[in-house]
Amino acid sequence: MSVMQEKIRIKQHIIEETLQAKKQNEEAISRLNDSVSLSEYRELVRIGRHGLVWTDALQAALNEHEIIVIPQSEEIYWLDNTVSIPSNRRIEATGATIRMCPEYPYVMLRNQHVHDGTYSPIDTSDRDTNISIHGGCWDEGANKRGERRYHGKRGSFAGVQTCMLFNNLDHLTVTDITFSHVSSFCVQVGDLTNGVFENFFFISCYADGLHINGNSENLYIRNFSGHVGDDLVALNMYDWLGSSINYGPARNVFCENIHSAPDSTAKAMRLQPGIFAYRDGTLIDCCLNDMYFRNLSGMFEYKLYYQTPPYRLGTKPEGEGAGSADNLFFENVEIISTRPDYPYELPKVGYFGMFFLNSNIGYISLDNIKYKTTDEVSPYTYLVAIGPMSWKRVEEEDVEVFDPYVSTTVDTLDMKNIFINGNHTDNMEKILKVIEFDDVNQDGFSSGKGKVNQVYIDGKQVL
């Protein structure tokens, strides 16, 4: 079997494994039969500042029954605390609006046995299974990012900032759902096997749509659209301490039909591997393997670079270094370049790539990429950039936003059917920029270099 035939086999295997995960989830859901309407728990409803509060009613229904139907209604179902979902439960909320009371800054929904894996791998002995949510508009009523949605008053997890939190879980299904005015991530998951996320619509949300963290496998992600304030989908196996409680690898991800709204303030998808250190010093490569993305539009950046929180020059950044990835496939992608928020166009701080790679990647394929740009946007913008980034804030010249010290290698970049402004091109100089820094911050810690071993364009090796 040739190398290219092997890659085709891997791509097909990704589809088969994730469709099998979806089938297994559907079979588990079909075995649930104990159903109840939430209206039967109306005696537990309380009168609150904003309307009728259904927290106690929903929690009691979930404790006692497998399927909870939230009836369609013009009335808002208010919640004033986190609702915990046990195993083998399904919420059906088509036509209902569930809204969090603004004075309660906590996660709206979570599975019963969530654990914090920041300091060591989680204990999975009490792992939950078979949880699904179908339909409904889940609304936080927020007007900006970061207003609320933390884990709770006591025992809070510092890396949780989300409307819905799921980890330590097998067989999660979330379908036909709308998120409205969510201040932080809409859904945050990790330590998850067999996750299905299908038909998501976002209205004025202010951070990531679906935020996936480490130790996640067999993920089927399909039909996302709408307005978010950050990454529409983020696969952050490594992440900042304030954005994750799960660190580790991910494999078998199929993601298609992802379309960012024209007025989204951030038009991006992030894939972030990295090296993470547990409290005892154990290092883990939070890697990304076997992922297939197709039919994507509305996003101008696909971020495959290692990035730590901003740090002051002369201090150690938070993470432990760039991680690895292999067998990444992007197919049928439309990109319209707009001027980036950062001053990438300055040669001093490097270049900007629609696909920006600064991780150790074995094989990555870009097939049928339609890229529209103008020289006025930035003469330093390329379809693909490999290497480090640097930017110091104007107001804080000693604070570095990116990680210019990081050196990484892409082994094989395989590109087919590349179109720039409607014209097919096989000119590598127009497509690809490899970036090298020479102590760009003059701190002895900013000489990262990108490297690519092999480049193929339309089946022909050009490097």
Q: What is the pLDDT of residues 63-81, one digit of tens each?
A: 999 999 999 999 999 999 9
Q: Is the pLDDT of residue 227 over 70?
A: yes
The Cα–Cα gap between 155 and 151 comes to 8
What confidence tens digit (pLDDT) does each residue in 111-170 have?
A: 999 999 999 999 999 999 999 999 999 999 888 776 555 555 544 788 898 999 999 999
State the number of CA atoms in the 13 A half-sphere of 265 facing the CB.
12
Average pLDDT over residues 354-364: 97
What percent of the chain is predicted at pLDDT more than 70?
Answer: 94
Full-model pTM:
0.94
Rounded to a whole number, what is the distance in angstroms from the first to the last CA of the chain?
A: 23
Which residue pairs from 7-10 have beta carbons closer than 8 angstroms and sit at least 24 positions apart in sequence? 7/327, 7/329, 7/363, 7/365, 7/414, 10/290, 10/327
Burial of 85 (0-12, 13-18, 19+ CB in 10 A): buried
Phi, psi of 284 (to 5 degrees): -135, 135
Burial of 102: CB neighbours in 10 Å, binned 0-12, 13-18, 19+: middle
- Examine the pLDDT at 346 and tell me if it is beyond 70: no
Cα angle at 420 between 418 and 423, to 5 degrees? Answer: 85
Are 377 and 344 a contacting pair, CB within 8 Å? no
The whole-angstrom separation of Cα 169 and Cα 174 is 13
Q: Are 270 and 234 in contact, with CB atoms under 8 Å apart?
A: yes
Predicted confidence band of residue 345 (pLDDT cuts 50, 70, 90): very low
On whether the CB atoms of residues 52 and 42 are closer than 8 A, the answer is no
Q: Are 128 and 88 in contact (CB under 8 A)?
A: no
Provide CB contacts within 8 A for 282, sequence distance 6+. none
What's the CA angle centered on 246, arms 245 and 249, to 5 degrees? 160
The closest alpha carbon to 216, from 243, 240, 241, 188, belongs to: 188
> What is the pLDDT at residue 306?
95
Longest dimension (CA), the chain: 71
